[in-house]
Amino acid sequence: MKSSATGCSVEEAMRLLGGRWRLLLVSYLLDGPKRFNDLRRDVPGISQRMLTLDLRALEEAGLVLRTVFAEVPVKVEYQLTEDGERLRPVVEVMRNFGLWLKARSALLV
Amino acid sequence: MKSSATGCSVEEAMRLLGGRWRLLLVSYLLDGPKRFNDLRRDVPGISQRMLTLDLRALEEAGLVLRTVFAEVPVKVEYQLTEDGERLRPVVEVMRNFGLWLKARSALLV
DNA sequence: CAGTATCCACAATGATACTG
DNA sequence: CAGTATCATTGTGGATACTG
């Protein structure tokens, strides 16, 4: 995304979390540490490429910690940092709104 | 955006609100009805085109009401619907997270 | 005033194949 | 297992000009 024009905090937050998958990934990480392929299973439809890119972005933002275990085959774990835990209310409010959206559209069908 | 792959409510919500401007527009509409050019002023950097497109999307989702006043020159007001008011907690939690983000990055500079 | 229309740039995402 | 590399496609946003 482009850089922020207004400097508004809502805009800043959406720049970081606005993509299609990021908040969704975070929502699964709220349950605890996950491996790369765990997340692939949790989020069917995401490509390996996007999973990597978005995890890296969250890592760079200090919200996710990536741990590599020197085993064979290699094992990599992703977990929220203490900072990343701050996203819990964001995910919850977004989930609630999404649930309401779905419930509403179910009424219209 | 593509249609939802997981059907997850977080994903559904982000599909509707995920763009660069939508939640930002909603945050201004939380203050009360606004005219087209009011919103242009509130959100410097948005193009007329995107303002129109995003307002239409929010209108179609039933979150925003568009009212045209038959005056000369014509006056159009946008306001949140009762459903749109449900976004208040979403905006607030996102704003808080954005504020925290900015505060944190200020520490690092 | 509040838009449309047209054209364009680039960011985001995806598909597929390959690898330490 | 957990990625990279490459290429293609779509989506998002912008510039400019025009209009009822």
Q: Distance from residue B74 (CA) to nucleotide C14 (C1'), in Å? A: 44
List residues of A whose CB lies inside 8 A of any B CB: 1-2, 5-6, 8-20, 23-24, 27, 43-46, 62, 83, 86-87, 89-91, 93-102, 104
Residue A1 CA, nucleotide C10 C1', distance (Å): 10
Q: What is the pLDDT of residue B45?
A: 86
Provide the pLDDT for residue B108: 80
Q: Which of B5, B13, B20 sits opposite A1 (nearest CB)?
A: B20
Nucleotide nearest to A57 (CA to C1'): C12
The reported pLDDT for the residue numbered B32 is 97
**Which tokens belong to A7?**
């400097």
Predicted local confidence at residue B72, as pLDDT:
87
Q: Is the pLDDT of residue B1 over 60?
A: no
The predicted pLDDT at position B80 comes to 98
Cβ distance B23 to A16 less than 8 Å, yes or no, reads no
For every one of its 109 residues, what pLDDT tens digit does chain A have, with 9 covering 90 and above? 555 555 689 999 999 998 899 999 999 999 999 999 999 999 989 999 999 999 999 999 999 999 999 998 999 999 999 999 999 999 999 999 999 999 998 898 7
The answer to whether B44 CB is within 7 Å of strand D is: no
Angle, CA of B30, B31 and B32, to the nearest 5°: 90
Is 0.85 surpassed by the pTM of this model? Answer: yes
Residue A58 CA to residue A68 CA, distance in Å, equals: 16
Residue B68: predicted pLDDT:
96
pLDDT at B44: 83
Would you kindly state where each structural domain of chain B is located, as residue ranges? 9-108
pLDDT tens sequence across B49-108: 999 999 999 999 999 999 999 998 999 999 999 999 999 999 999 999 999 999 998 898
With a 7 Å cutoff on the CB, does B43 touch strand D? no
User: Which residue spans within chain A are E strands per DSSP?
Assistant: 34-35, 64-69, 75-80
pLDDT at B6: 59
Q: What is the pLDDT of residues B19-56, one digit of tens each?
A: 889 999 999 999 999 999 999 999 988 999 999 999 99
Level-2 CATH architecture, domain B9-108: Orthogonal Bundle (1.10)
Q: What is the pLDDT of residue A7?
A: 65
DSSP state of A87: G
Tell me which H or E stretch contains A53.
helix A48-60
Tens of pLDDT along A41-62? 999 899 999 999 999 999 999 9
The DSSP H or E segment spanning B62 is: none
